[in-house]
Amino acid sequence: MTEPLLAIENLYVTLIDDRGKSKTILQGVSFEIYPNEVMGLVGESGSGKSMTALALMGLLPHRAQIHSGRIWFGGQNLLALPKREFSALRGSQIAMIFQNPRAALNPLMRVGNQVARVVRLHQGLGKRAAYGKGLDLLQQAGITDTSIRARAYPHQLSGGMAQRVLIAMMLACQPRLLIADEPTTGLDVTIQAQIFELIKAIQVELGTTLLLITHDLGVVSEVCQRVAVMQAGKIQEVAAVADLFAHPQHPYTQHLMSTLLRVDRPANYRE
């Protein structure tokens, strides 16, 4: 078997709340991601999916502390890396897109400039060239009339459009590992399908490895090869998608399937 691109070992993360009480939100998370695969991470809201992803990015909030564990990436333990070297990996090696794409863009900056900035950072182009390249990437991300749209501010875009802008940024980064944290939450259903298709197409084209966080098992079955099931800060089961759907091992997975596989989202779903 090939070497994993990324391996998380026994990750413990605690969060200190406003009152100074600490709560362990990741309790020994372990799983691997192999090159070029699409890995799904599913679980209820609050189970710790986002925190896991942020730990991979080294972007945990101030109040969260990594207690113990290792994250192997490209032969080195990210958690033991000096801050500066970890920063250098962000964007170029690992990149991430988030839910709520409109809030994920700088409200005071035209989106074309935001994409161009990432192009400049990672492809070393001049200002004009980077902007032109950015327009190309926006087009690749499925935006029409790019020269007009690029001059828009984030609040003038729809959620789906904003997510495409973020995807264009990812295209500029060309990371080895792309993490997508519920990239379609809050978008229209038809747009959701388009965005997933786009992400999938890019993954194939660039040969990027993808960690897709979602609550939508339907998407998992279509897009992912393997999937990790998370509950209350622990990974309960990791399996190939086909196996998981054929015979879920863990009782929680079965429960999750019965609740999440419905077409509509559960009524109490937040975020």
Ligand X SMILES: Nc1ncnc2c1ncn2[C@@H]1O[C@H](COP(=O)(O)OP(=O)(O)O)[C@@H](O)[C@H]1O
According to the binding rule CB under 6 A, does residue 112 interact with ligand X? no
**Kind of pairing, strands 6-16 and 64-73?**
antiparallel
Binding mask 28-57 for Mg ion (x = CB under 5 A): ----------------------x-------
Residue nearest to ligand X (CB): 50
Which positions touch another protein (CB under 8 A)?
18-20, 57, 59, 62, 87-88, 90-92, 95-98, 100, 103-109, 117-118, 121-122, 153, 155-156, 166, 169-170, 172-173
105 binds, among another protein, Mg ion, ligand X, none (CB under 5 to 8 A by kind): another protein
Q: How far is CA 102 from CA 17, 140, 154, in A?
A: 27, 19, 6
According to the binding rule CB under 6 A, does residue 50 interact with ligand X? yes
Instruction: State the minimum distance, in angstroms, from the CB of residue 216 to ligand X.
Output: 13
Instruction: State the minimum distance, in angstroms, from the CB of residue 21 to ligand X.
Output: 11
Instruction: State the minimum distance, in angstroms, from the CB of residue 118 to another protein.
Output: 5
103 binds, among Mg ion, another protein, ligand X, none (CB under 5 to 8 A by kind): another protein
According to the binding rule CB under 6 A, does residue 57 interact with ligand X? no
15 binds, among Mg ion, ligand X, another protein, none (CB under 5 to 8 A by kind): ligand X
- Residues 11-40 contacting ligand X, CB under 6 A: 15, 17, 25
Q: Which residues bind ligand X (CB under 6 A)?
A: 15, 17, 25, 43, 45-51
